[in-house]
Amino acid sequence: MKNLSETKFALSYINKYGSLMAQGNGYLGLRASHEEDYPGQVRGMYLAGVYNRPAGSESAELVNLPDIAGMRIELDGQLFSLQMGKIVEYERHLALGSGLLTRRIIWRDPRGRLFELIFERVVGKTRGTLIGSRVSIKSLDQAVGAVVTTGIDGQQTNFGTQQLVEEKLHVAAGDFMVGHYETIESDRKIVIAAKVAPGGVITAKNRQIKSQVTLDLEPGQAATLEKIAVVCSDLDIEATNMEIGRSFQQKDDSSEAVFATLESGALAKLADRDFDWLKQEVAQEWTQFWGTGRVMLESKEATANIDQLALDFASYHLEIMTPKNDPRMSVGAKGLTGEGYKGHVFWDTEIFIMPYFLHHSPETAKNMLLYRYHHLQEAKEKAQKYGYSGALFPWESAFSGREETPEFAAINIRTGKRQRIASALAEHHIVADIAYAVWSYFQATQDQAFMGKYGRALLRETAEFWLSRAVRRDGRYQILDVIGPDEYTEHVDNNAYTNYLAAFNVRQAMRFNQDETDFCHRGADFLAKLYLPAAGSDGIVPQDDTFLTKPQIDLAKYKQAQGKQGILLDYSRAEVIDMQILKQADLVMLFYLLPQLFSADIVAQNLSFYEERTIHDSSLSKAIHAIVACRSGDVATAYRFFQEACLIDLGGDPHSSDDGIHAAAAGAIWLSAVFGFAGVDTTGVRLRFAPRLPAAWQKMSFHFWWQNEKLHIELKQGSIKFSKSSTTELEIEVNGKLLKLTGEAVEERI
């Protein structure tokens, strides 16, 4: 498997690679910041669920924890920094296959002496995370005295906001540096312990505890320092006796008792562990993951070089962003790789990220839905606050389950005033997106127990919201004043995506709540009278009531610089809203989610109409266009969209991912390969395939979980082959033809 590599040191890329090469396990994320400091370098370590609401702020932020990656290296008093001296050789690799981050440098210091430095870092795959790092320094020409200083640095902030109080720093069990921290508002308790070998002199000052280690470098001989650390929080303790329905906020034990438990657990985890042990352990776990987690391609075309790397990058990041079995936490829009969107959870999770897990590890997908179930109460409170019934899930959420969307966004370029973010007030499609995810979970698992206990209630409460949200106008139910997925169009009536998904939501809720006669009666009335925008005589389905009446402008300039939201530097948001401009897939999103709604002709026509008006300023857009283009038979265009989607994080833009990778885009890369090119459709009674491989690919293979079966699918130009884990018969369809899969491999011409 190819590494993700950086072959040149450049300050301008430091934060992009800090995000791209981040390591983690779904509970902890560690940015790939360099050991040594650089101006503008953002260090970052985050724990899923550890948020804090700073004084005076309306939204909670994913807390940037004390740093353990930093190291100060002095060589006979000369500070090691690539901003000085000369870089003779430089390479950095994240081995996606084994989770190991390495950096090798040959450096001529300002005094003309030559050194080789090799840094390695690895992050454990289990919760209560172990983190190992090692630096090996070789003086290539003369004897040198090196001093390496490293420890736990509590001076980290979220862009200047201090989120933690240091409760205690001390040395335990002889040579373990230990820090106790508590988040200021949310009272989360965190313990970090670290140990270096060889040991050094430990000091504590200015919210830092550090060990200073002296190494004698003989010419040509490497001297090595290892550091092993562990990070735990009180969320880990509570996880051991957690049940759905119980208040997770309740804290019975005294602070001291919690810290004591955390510290003894942390030290026990570190005992007898060293870097090599951890490196091997983590490599094994990653090997296991890749056994089924990968889409494998074969291609002879140089143009396809990025494709496999992008798919591996996507699977790697999906794996490290997602907590596996703790419903108190879900996945933020940047995973755990940075502070973008303050670590908040959006519709990205259910619609873009969950499918990968649904078809690899359904229990993890279930966890995402349990997170929503667990916060039904807060969603009901939000609905009530605005005069609605049922559950109105927050547009952005964190630990509390309450609305966390910040009030203001960028400055209006015309007025100089900050513009309000309307999403919390009107981007209500998230309610139906969650319902859609519940339904898709059932489609893929047939998990009746889940539906009875949780799914049914989620569907019912979300449906109740729509029944109360719609208003009677002109003899029909209409859904007024919403924002659809396209965030460059605000406060519109009857957004097609929203209306169709609301109908879908209500229909599924009725299916799973048939004994609720009053509800079903109201649901049937809603479905009979809800206005569902249809294609006009020209074949175009209106995105909303007014979109087609708005003026159009030439978007070429903005499309070229897509992802940068450059249009908002030329026009105010209010002006953008009044033009035919889409930030991202909207109706195309509907075509993707509900492929049977419209005829192939209508889909193709609308795809081309709306794409012309779409800047793709959101990372959620391109890959979905790839899927819909592929289904429409335009594989070349689909492949172009796919490749552009692959570059959202991996492309050359130095700042595309400074504040974290685009989590939904990672999910969407996988979606476009599997739901696009392999042509998977999970919306019917049977699993369906309508494959269309790009001309550049000879072969694509992947694993896919479906209704308790582990399928393996191998796709070539002209054929598709299935094998599966059991001998039970499973009916599927390939291009409309029924196939019965049993234990034997089945190959079909396409």
| Contact residues for ligand BGC, defined by CB under 6 A | 333, 341, 346-348, 485, 487, 583-584, 618, 620, 664
The answer to whether residues 211 and 149 touch, using CB atoms and an 8 Å cutoff, is yes
The answer to whether residues 418 and 411 touch, using CB atoms and an 8 Å cutoff, is yes
Give Cα 452 to chain centroid, integer Å.
29
Q: Mark whether 263 is an active-site residue.
A: no
Which residue, 620 or 646, has its beta carbon nearer to ligand BGC? 620
Query: Which two three-digit tokens encode residue 396?
Result: 């952005």
Give Cα 136 to chain centroid, integer Å.
33
Q: Tell me which of 281, 396, 487, 644 is the catalytic residue.
A: 487
What b/e sequence results for 73-92 when a residue is b if at least 16 CB atoms lie within 10 Å of its CB, and e otherwise? Answer: bbbeebebbbeebeeeebeb
Consecutive H or E run containing 212: strand 208-217
Minimum distance of ligand BGC from residue 116's CB (angstroms): 41
Which residue, 485 or 676, has its beta carbon nearer to ligand BGC? 485
Distances (CA, A) of 136 to 215, 218, 661: 10, 13, 29
- The DSSP code for 129 is -
Which residue, 196 or 369, has its beta carbon nearer to ligand BGC? 369
Which residue, 289 or 497, has its beta carbon nearer to ligand BGC? 497
**Phi and psi based region of residue 401 (left: phi greater than 0; alpha: psi -120 to 50; beta: remaining):** left
CA distance 305 to 328: 39
Which residue, 461 or 659, has its beta carbon nearer to ligand BGC? 659
Question: Using alpha carbons only, how large is the chain's radius of gyration in Å?
Answer: 27
- The DSSP code for 12 is G
Q: Is residue 710 classed as helix, strand or coil in its secondary structure?
A: strand
What DSSP string runs through 268-289? HHHTT--HHHHHHHHHHHHHHH
Which residue, 67 or 486, has its beta carbon nearer to ligand BGC? 486
Minimum distance of ligand BGC from residue 649's CB (angstroms): 13
Which residue, 440 or 489, has its beta carbon nearer to ligand BGC? 489
The CB density around residue 387, as the number of other CB atoms within 10 Å, is 8
Q: Is residue 305 classed as helix, strand or coil in its secondary structure?
A: helix
Minimum distance of ligand BGC from residue 430's CB (angstroms): 9
What DSSP string runs through 694-743? -TT-SEEEEEEEETTEEEEEEEETTEEEEEESSSS-EEEEETTEEEEE-S
Give the CB-side neighbour count of residue 112, counting CA atoms within 13 A.
Answer: 0
| Distance between first and last Cα of the chain | 29
The answer to whether residues 653 and 614 touch, using CB atoms and an 8 Å cutoff, is no
Q: Is residue 247 classed as helix, strand or coil in its secondary structure?
A: coil
Minimum distance of ligand BGC from residue 157's CB (angstroms): 23
For every residue of 389-422, which 3-state class applies, written as one string?
A: CCCCCCCCECCCCCCCCCCEEEECCCCCCEEECC
| E-assigned strand segments in 83-188 | 86-95, 100-108, 114-123, 130-139, 144-153, 164-172, 176-183
Which residue, 394 or 691, has its beta carbon nearer to ligand BGC? 394
CA distance 207 to 699: 54
CA distance 225 to 200: 10
Which residue, 98 or 562, has its beta carbon nearer to ligand BGC? 562
The answer to whether residues 701 and 712 touch, using CB atoms and an 8 Å cutoff, is yes
Which residue, 409 or 594, has its beta carbon nearer to ligand BGC? 409
Cβ contacts of 242 within 8 Å, gap of 6 or more: 248, 326, 328
**Catalytic sites, residue numbers:** 487
